[in-house]
């Protein structure tokens, strides 16, 4: 895109600047629209699984429900508790929201269609997602209230625990594809198994990694059954108890943007990103970003399916799963994958 703006007669600096701003808007605006619609879809799916109707009043089929909710939240009064640490209290939702958007810079929507085609794309995602916990911790501490504080403690312990196994799972994928670049990781999955299936998930050594990645991504985004940070039966609403109005909305949007990001990561790392599921010429006639979006929405369906059906974990069960099951198993698979590649590819 920089080249296009340069052809309009701009200097490189300005062309780069304008191109980056355009790229950000091109990703962020559809993402916000997608988040609004995905909240509606989420509620419809839960409703269908509970034999209810779900939102059906605002607009046709209730399609405008999220926008009505947004307007309601926007018109609310912003309340800052008098005992809160004001600066951090107000920065925290902005941090959460910004970080939820930042990671999208390296997600490839189509072949090469990404904002930043960097060599360390996957590490960048790991770095940004490890920042996500700060919004929660800052909110919990700055609220100066017991329930948000408990929630912040839980959130930080939970995120650190699951990031360890996510790191090992990502290492397996990186070993197999031989690169950290997200676009090249997708390309490495073309015809991966028998030259037919596009995707690391069809590889017997990486399939268990994907299952663990899916569960870890549920824990990382604090979705059910791992939503202990906002367990309403214990902690009122967790870290967002004291928030109202747009600050609350920022958490809400950030949370769903993170869920979508995890769906996109599942797609990119294991399901061949913008590649069609089979390496068969007619399927390539469909544009890549349609395959990408289809896969992302499929994973979002899985996320809300899990939320509608699985009961919440106990906190000790959560910690046990992270440290005593996922960590040793993912470590074992790092050894297995690297050993297999050592014997077959590099010997």
Q: Measured from the CB atom, is 13 or 77 closer to other proteins?
A: 13
Pick the closer one to other proteins by CB: 21 or 160. 160
Do 132 and 159 touch, CB atoms closer than 8 A? yes
**Minimum Å distance from CB 133 to other proteins?**
6
Cβ 137 to other proteins, closest distance in Å? 6
Task: Closer to other proteins by CB, 198 or 216: give it.
Answer: 216
Q: Closest approach of Cβ 88 to other proteins, in Å?
A: 7
Query: Considering beta carbons, is residue 110 or 156 the nearer one to other proteins?
Result: 156
Q: How far apart are CA 86 and CA 144, in angstroms?
A: 10
Nearer to other proteins, 42 or 242 (CB): 242
CA dihedral over 316, 319, 323, 324, signed as positive or negative: positive
Report DSSP state, residue 83. T
Q: Where are the alpha helices (DSSP H) in 111-244?
A: 121-131, 133-142, 146-177, 182-188, 207-220, 232-235
Measured from the CB atom, the residue of 184 and 234 that comes closer to other proteins is: 184
For residue 58, the minimal CB distance to other proteins (Å) is 40
Residue among 81 and 277 whose Cβ is closer to other proteins: 81
Binding site for other proteins (CB under 8 A): 13, 16-17, 85, 88, 118-120, 123-124, 126-128, 130-131, 133-134, 137-138, 141, 149, 152-153, 156-157, 159-160, 163, 179-180, 316, 320
User: In whole angstroms, what is the distance from residue 286 CA to residue 234 CA?
Assistant: 48
What is the rounded CA–CA span in Å between residue 68 and residue 124?
A: 35
Q: Give least dist CB 41 to other proteins, A.
A: 31
Nearest to 242 by CA among 76, 79, 73: 79
Q: How far is the CB of 338 from other proteins (least distance, A)?
A: 12
CB 174 within 8 A of CB 189: no
- Beta carbon nearer to other proteins, 153 or 293: 153
- Residue 27 phi, psi dihedral angles, 5° rounding: -90, -45
Q: How far is the CB of 45 from other proteins (least distance, A)?
A: 29
Rounded Cα distance between 207 and 219, Å, is 19
Minimal distance, residue 280 CB to other proteins, in Å: 32
Select from 61, 1, 15, 6 the least CA-distant residue to 37: 61
Give the C-alpha separation, 326 to 170, whole Å. Answer: 13
* Phi, psi (deg, nearest 5) at residue 334: -60, -45
Measured CA to CA, the distance from residue 300 to residue 260 in angstroms comes to 7
Q: Which two tokens stand for residue 338?
A: 């690297």
């Amino acid at each position: 895109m920089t080249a296009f703006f340069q052809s309009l007669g701009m200097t490189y600096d300005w062309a780069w600047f304008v191109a980056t701003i355009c790229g950000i808007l091109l990703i962020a605006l559809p993402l916000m629209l997608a988040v609004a619609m995905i909240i509606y879809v989420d509620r419809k799916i839960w409703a269908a699984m509970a034999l209810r109707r779900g939102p059906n009043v605002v607009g046709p089929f209730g399609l405008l429900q999220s926008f009505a909710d947004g307007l309601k939240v926007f018109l609310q009064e912003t309340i800052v508790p008098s005992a809160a640490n004001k600066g951090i209290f107000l920065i925290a939702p902005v941090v959460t929201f910004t970080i939820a958007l930042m990671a999208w810079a390296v997600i490839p929507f189509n072949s090469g269609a990404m904002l930043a085609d960097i060599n360390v794309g996957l590490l960048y995602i790991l770095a940004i997602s490890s920042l996500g916990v700060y919004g929660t911790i800052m909110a919990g501490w700055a609220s100066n209230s017991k329930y948000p504080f408990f929630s912040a403690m839980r959130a930080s312990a939970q995120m650190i625990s699951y990031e360890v196994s996510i790191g090992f799972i990502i290492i397996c994928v990186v070993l197999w594809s031989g690169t950290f670049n997200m676009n090249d990781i997708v390309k490495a999955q073309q015809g991966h198994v028998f030259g037919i299936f596009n995707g690391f998930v069809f590889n017997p050594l990486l399939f268990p990694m994907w299952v663990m990645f899916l569960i870890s991504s549920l824990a990382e985004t604090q979705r059910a059954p791992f939503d202990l940070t906002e367990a309403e039966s214990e902690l009122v609403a967790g870290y967002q108890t004291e928030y109202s109005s747009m600050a609350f909305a920022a958490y809400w949007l950030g949370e769903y943007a993170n869920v979508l990001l995890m769906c996109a990561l599942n797609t990119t790392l294991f399901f061949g990103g913008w590649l069609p599921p089979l390496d068969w010429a007619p399927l390539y006639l469909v544009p890549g970003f349609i395959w990408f979006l289809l896969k992302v929405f499929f994973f979002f369906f899985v996320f809300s399916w899990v939320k509608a059906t699985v009961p919440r974990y106990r906190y000790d069960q959560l910690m046990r799963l992270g440290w005593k099951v996922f960590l040793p198993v993912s470590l074992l698979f790092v050894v297995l994958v690297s050993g297999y590649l050592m014997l077959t590819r590099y010997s």
